[in-house]
């Protein structure tokens, strides 16, 4: 079987549609994007962050696999480095073993294009992609998941994972209806609370755009993280444009900007994880590590005012993990992995960067696609 990997153009759209249909017919719900030109992060020379789509095409012109490559600048110990992100790699091998080698071809091609590569999310260590990455010598760890339940009744009536069996559903409903869920949640949050800074001492407001203040904050913060995607004004305007439902929260103390957070508040309907809940999320955030707790206290106060049932976030950096714990968030099981190629792992080790000094969250992958 001869396979050639090429960049997606509109002439391959019918073949890609057939590929997606074969995945569906095989019982897999993965779908590769059908549009070859992105409206979000388009591939243009002037953009410092952009996506490219690549398809694995056989001799007959059939698409047998695909992946997304995102190129972005990161700050590493006083210098800027270009790092790639591999997104949504999918092979027809997941529904037809005859094409099992295609997944390897996709990974090899991506790393050849950008040796400094990472993956994010991926559904947990037991999934096929993380297992393939480990076989190729990639390092990985689970990015901690934090959650705060605001409406226990709706949480226990809707959260999908603990309700997968009839007995579990009956138990969750009983906990919700009896009021035990409310008491348990209040007790657990109190146990986790570590004395977050009083949010009413902070001034926070929604902004339509990031401005010079974001550049000044980035310049002050970037040296305090081992590895962090560039988060200056230009980059943030591309990642979180004003025509999308992102809430851009600026946090000030004594008239000075000390940080920001990008938030979402999403009302779900029949979500595979959250059912009918409204879920708030901290998608991205930046501050000096010592101000992380203040930013999360302010973001939590703001989101609570919007009335979600639950607030969630994934955070890798030790200071931000501590900030969520200080605000009373609980830590739950995480299926959100960070994986680094051998070349990126070696670079981080040579720079003495520990896993807990990486600043990664959902905004660093495909974006908050499930939030």
In sequence order, which ranges of the chain are alpha helices (DSSP H)? Answer: 13-25, 101-113, 128-135, 152-158, 166-178, 180-192, 212-221, 233-239, 292-304, 318-326, 342-350
Query: Which residues, 6 or more positions from 21, have their beta carbon under 8 angstroms from its beta carbon?
Result: none
- Going by C-alpha positions, the residue among 70, 16, 112, 33 that lies closest to residue 229 is 70
- Assign residue 45 the CATH number of its domain: 3.40.630
Query: For residue 41, what pLDDT is reported?
Result: 63
Query: For residue 191, what pLDDT is reported?
Result: 58
Structural domain of 81: 3-114
Residues 90 and 150 in one domain: no
Can you tell me the distance from the alpha carbon of 221 to that of 289, in angstroms, rounded to the nearest whole number? 8
Last residue of a domain, one of 71, 97, 114: 114
As a whole number, mean pLDDT of residues 173-187 equals 49
- List 286's β-bridge partners, or say none: 260
Can you tell me the distance from the alpha carbon of 354 to that of 118, in angstroms, rounded to the nearest whole number? 15
Last residue of a domain, one of 114, 133, 156: 114
* Degrees to nearest 5, angle at CA 297 with 292 and 299: 95
Q: Is the pLDDT of residue 284 over 90?
A: yes
Distances in Å between the Cα of 349 and the Cα atoms of 81, 213, 359, 365 are 15, 33, 16, 22
Can you tell me the distance from the alpha carbon of 95 to that of 217, in angstroms, rounded to the nearest whole number? 48
Residues 106 and 154 in one domain: no
As a whole number, mean pLDDT of residues 120-148 equals 90
Question: Cα(first)–Cα(last) distance of the chain, in Å?
Answer: 39
Q: Cα 267 from chain centroid? A: 19
Residues 153 and 225 in one domain: yes
How many domains are there within the chain?
Answer: 2
Query: For residue 312, what pLDDT is reported?
Result: 95
Residues 156 and 288 in one domain: yes
Residues 313 and 172 in one domain: yes
Query: For residue 227, what pLDDT is reported?
Result: 97
- Going by C-alpha positions, the residue among 324, 281, 291 that lies closest to residue 202 is 291
Can you tell me the distance from the alpha carbon of 64 to that of 309, in angstroms, rounded to the nearest whole number? 41
As a whole number, mean pLDDT of residues 308-322 equals 96
pLDDT band of residue 157 (cuts 50, 70, 90) is confident
The lowest-confidence range among 23-32, 198-207, 230-239, 346-355 is: 198-207
Query: For residue 169, what pLDDT is reported?
Result: 46
Query: pLDDT of 330-354, one tens digit each?
Result: 898 898 999 999 999 999 999 999 9
Can you tell me the distance from the alpha carbon of 286 to that of 204, in angstroms, rounded to the nearest whole number? 14
Q: Is the pLDDT of residue 317 over 90?
A: yes
Query: pLDDT of 78-106, one tens digit each?
Result: 999 999 999 889 999 999 999 989 999 99
Residues 110 and 156 in one domain: no
Whether residue 370 is contained in a domain is answered as no
As a whole number, mean pLDDT of residues 58-72 equals 93
Query: For residue 170, what pLDDT is reported?
Result: 43
Whether residue 357 is contained in a domain is answered as no
DSSP state for residue 197 in the 8-state scheme: P
**Helix/strand/coil for 260:** strand
- Going by C-alpha positions, the residue among 57, 110, 63, 60 that lies closest to residue 85 is 110
DSSP state for residue 141 in the 8-state scheme: E
Percent of the chain exceeding pLDDT 70 equals 84
- Assign residue 227 the CATH number of its domain: 3.40.630.30
Query: pLDDT of 28-60, one tens digit each?
Result: 888 898 875 555 566 665 677 788 899 999 999
Query: For residue 56, what pLDDT is reported?
Result: 95
Q: Is the pLDDT of residue 283 over 70?
A: yes
The lowest-confidence range among 30-34, 39-43, 164-168, 310-314 is: 164-168
Whether residue 135 is contained in a domain is answered as no
The lowest-confidence range among 45-49, 250-254, 306-310 is: 45-49
Query: For residue 303, what pLDDT is reported?
Result: 96
Whether residue 133 is contained in a domain is answered as no
Query: For residue 126, what pLDDT is reported?
Result: 81
Query: Which residues, 6 or more positions from 103, have their beta carbon under 8 angstroms from its beta carbon?
Result: 65, 89, 91, 93, 128, 129, 132
Can you tell me the distance from the alpha carbon of 356 to that of 351, in angstroms, rounded to the nearest whole number? 14
Query: Which residues, 6 or more positions from 323, have their beta carbon under 8 angstroms from its beta carbon?
Result: 196, 292, 293, 295, 296, 297
Residues 205 and 322 in one domain: yes
> For the whole model, what pTM was predicted?
0.86
């Amino acid at each position: 079987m001869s396979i050639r990997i090429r960049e997606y153009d509109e002439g391959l759209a019918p073949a890609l549609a057939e590929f997606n249909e074969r995945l569906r017919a095989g019982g897999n719900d993965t779908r590769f994007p059908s549009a070859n030109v992105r409206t979000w992060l388009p591939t243009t020379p002037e953009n410092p962050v952009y996506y490219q789509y690549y398809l694995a095409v056989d001799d007959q012109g059939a698409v047998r696999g695909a992946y997304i490559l995102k190129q972005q600048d990161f700050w590493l110990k006083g210098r800027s480095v270009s790092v790639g992100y591999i997104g949504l790699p999918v092979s027809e091998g997941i529904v037809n073993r005859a094409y099992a080698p295609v997944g390897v071809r996709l990974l090899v091609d991506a790393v050849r294009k950008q040796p400094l590569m990472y993956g994010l999310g991926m559904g947990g260590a037991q999934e096929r992609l993380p297992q393939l990455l480990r076989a190729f010598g990639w390092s990985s760890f689970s990015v901690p998941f934090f959650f705060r339940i605001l409406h226990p009744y709706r949480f226990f009536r809707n959260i999908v994972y603990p309700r997968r069996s009839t007995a579990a559903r009956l138990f969750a409903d009983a906990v919700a209806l009896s009021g035990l869920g409310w008491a348990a949640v209040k007790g657990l949050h109190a146990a986790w609370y570590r004395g977050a800074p009083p949010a009413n001492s902070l001034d926070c407001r929604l902004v339509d755009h990031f401005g010079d203040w974001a550049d000044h904050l980035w310049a002050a913060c970037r040296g305090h993280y081992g590895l962090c995607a560039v988060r200056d004004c230009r980059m943030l305007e591309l990642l979180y444009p004003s025509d999308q439902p992102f809430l851009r929260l600026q946090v000030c103390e004594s008239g000075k900007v000390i940080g920001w957070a990008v938030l979402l508040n999403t009302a779900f309907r029949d979500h595979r994880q959250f059912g009918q809940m409204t879920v708030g999320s901290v998608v991205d955030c930046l501050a000096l590590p010592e101000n992380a707790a203040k930013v999360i206290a302010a973001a939590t106060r703001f989101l609570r005012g919007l009335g979600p049932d639950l607030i969630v976030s994934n955070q890798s950096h030790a200071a931000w993990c501590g900030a969520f714990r200080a605000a009373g968030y609980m830590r739950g099981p995480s299926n959100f992995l960070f994986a680094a190629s051998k070349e990126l792992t070696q670079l981080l080790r040579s720079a003495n960067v520990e896993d807990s000094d990486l600043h990664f969250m959902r905004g660093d992958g495909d974006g908050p696609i499930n939030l």
